[in-house]
């Protein structure tokens, strides 16, 4: 208990104490303000993936689920009351299943999964769910920057304190200018993200991980006025993907964050709505419950590191080497990488710094596109990426996968998973 495996053979070895994954599902990710989930509530989206998690493993008595951790960044009261209500609403045993929410910005739901895994590993619980939810349509009014906080921090003599509220777009510009990431490279990266995601959607690669959402949708015109009556719609696909994205189109976009900048609405992640959930338990528990054949993977380890807040996008380039070093792994041992595309600038920097440019060209990094095309619903992104990773490894036959993202205020987080 508490000892990390060391070396590829140990990482791949199976043991009764392993933290295994039985399902990893997500809603479609849709554009905030425009997409078909814009009128849905974050807890509504959470309820869909939680219910789907129970339905995916009908042999599991819901009362066996000890705890649920939900990553969420923007919801009122940290989303804790609404998330608990949503869990109770869809059939969980309220006398045996507890819930809490987690906010580690962009890595919140990866942190939720890691926290549940830690509780299982330390025998505090046997079964749990790591999830995430976000409606940026409903809750992005302040653009994720606090509107009221201790005035002394605004004028702090410590730059790294002041920089924690720097708009994320400016941190992207810092990475681009400091590390030589050109506008042309950023646009090309964004176009490829859309092309890869469009191909994945067209070929049905996301179908196994996506849970359809039936909800209300109100069409509005450009001025925000209602058009007709609200409709009941069933959303089955991500809608931010642009199959016709081109270098010419990207080049026409104006810088979004500074007049002479290189980050645009086209080469930055989309503001999005969505939810995701991953079911975890101890391998011995799965065996005892007759669920051994339901195992689709295992959680190996995760870590979080700090970096300068004004270049928070470099986080994966710091977190990944530390985690692989702790596990005695090398880049060549990893079959698939999911590295969040908060901005093309930082994603490109991380690929270069990690020595993964060839892996990206070979289709081992974000082979089904990333957040530039799919979207980035802050609290749900980590769990979404885990779902895409495990289902992707299932299709390609790989075993070891890494999920990583940068984190606002200056952090990076990474997790290692194995497909079974």
Residue 307 catalytic? Answer: no
Give me 352's structure tokens: 């270069």
Give me 389's structure tokens: 């990773």
C-alpha 145/C-alpha 104 separation (Å) is 14
Decide: helix, strand or coil at residue 278: strand
Dihedral of alpha carbons 177, 179, 184, 189, sign: negative
Residue with tokens 């419950």: 289
Catalytic, out of 36, 164, 194, 376: 376
Q: What single DSSP character describes residue 22?
A: E
Residue with tokens 């996301």: 206
The number of residues making up the chain comes to: 420
- Residue 407 and residue 313 in contact, taking contact as beta carbons nearer than 8 Å: no
Residue 376 catalytic? Answer: yes
C-alpha 334/C-alpha 359 separation (Å) is 10
Catalytic, out of 164, 307, 350, 406: 406
- Residue 74 and residue 378 in contact, taking contact as beta carbons nearer than 8 Å: yes
Give the residue from 155, 151, 132, 115 showing the smallest Cα distance to 379.
132
| Burial call 372-381: b when 16+ CB within 10 Å, e when fewer | bbbbbbbbbb
Number of Cα atoms under 13 Å in the Cβ half of residue 321: 10
Catalytic, out of 36, 106, 164, 350: 106
C-alpha 194/C-alpha 60 separation (Å) is 38
The β-bridge partners of 403 are: 338, 415
> For 73-131, what is the HEC assignment?
CCCHHHHHHHHHHHHHHCCCCCCCCEEEEECECECHHHHHHHHHHHHHHCCCCCEEEEE
Strand ranges in 211-296 using DSSP code E only, listed in sequence order: 213-217, 231-235, 272-282
The β-bridge partners of 305 are: 412
Catalytic residue numbers, as ranges = 106, 376, 406
């Amino acid at each position: 208990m508490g000892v990390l495996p060391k070396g590829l053979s140990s990482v791949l070895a199976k043991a009764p104490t392993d933290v295994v994954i039985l399902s990893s599902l997500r809603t479609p990710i849709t554009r905030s303000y425009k997409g078909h989930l814009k009128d849905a509530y974050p807890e509504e989206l959470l309820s869909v993936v939680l219910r789907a998690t129970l339905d995916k493993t009908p042999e599991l008595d819901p009362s066996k689920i000890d705890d649920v951790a939900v990553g969420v960044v923007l919801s009122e009261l940290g989303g804790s009351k609404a998330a608990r209500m949503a869990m109770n609403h869809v059939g969980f045993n309220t006398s045996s299943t507890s819930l809490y929410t987690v906010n580690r910005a962009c890595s919140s739901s990866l942190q939720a999964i890691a926290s549940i895994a830690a509780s299982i590993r330390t025998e505090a619980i046997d079964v749990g769910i790591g999830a995430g939810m976000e409606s940026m349509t409903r809750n992005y009014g302040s653009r994720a920057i606090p509107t009221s906080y201790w005035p002394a921090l605004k004028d702090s003599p410590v730059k790294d304190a002041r920089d924690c509220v720097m708009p994320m777009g400016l941190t992207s510009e810092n990475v681009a200018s400091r590390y030589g990431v050109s506008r042309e490279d950023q646009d090309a990266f964004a176009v490829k993200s859309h092309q890869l995601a469009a191909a994945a959607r067209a070929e049905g690669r996301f179908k196994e991980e996506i849970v359809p959402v039936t909800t209300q949708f109100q069409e509005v015109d450009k001025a925000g006025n209602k058009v007709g009556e609200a409709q009941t719609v069933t959303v089955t696909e991500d809608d931010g993907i642009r199959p016709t994205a081109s270098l010419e189109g990207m080049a026409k976009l104006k810088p979004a964050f500074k007049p002479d900048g290189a980050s645009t609405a086209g080469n930055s992640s989309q503001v999005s709505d969505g939810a995701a959930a991953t079911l975890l338990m101890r391998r011995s528990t799965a065996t005892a419950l007759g669920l051994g054949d339901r195992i689709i993977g295992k959680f190996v380890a995760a870590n979080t590191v700090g970096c300068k807040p004004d270049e928070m996008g470099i986080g994966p380039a710091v977190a990944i080497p530390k985690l692989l070093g702790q596990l005695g792994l090398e880049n060549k041992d990893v079959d698939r990488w999911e590295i969040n595309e908060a901005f093309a600038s930082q994603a490109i920097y991380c690929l270069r710094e990690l020595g993964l440019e060839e892996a990206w060209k070979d289709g081992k990094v974000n082979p089904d596109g990333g957040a530039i095309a799919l979207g980035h619903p802050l609290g749900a992104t980590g769990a979404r990426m885990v779902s895409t990773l495990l289902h992707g490894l299932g299709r390609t036959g790989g075993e070891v996968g890494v999920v990583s993202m940068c984190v606002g205020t200056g952090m990076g987080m990474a997790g290692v998973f194995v497909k079974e």
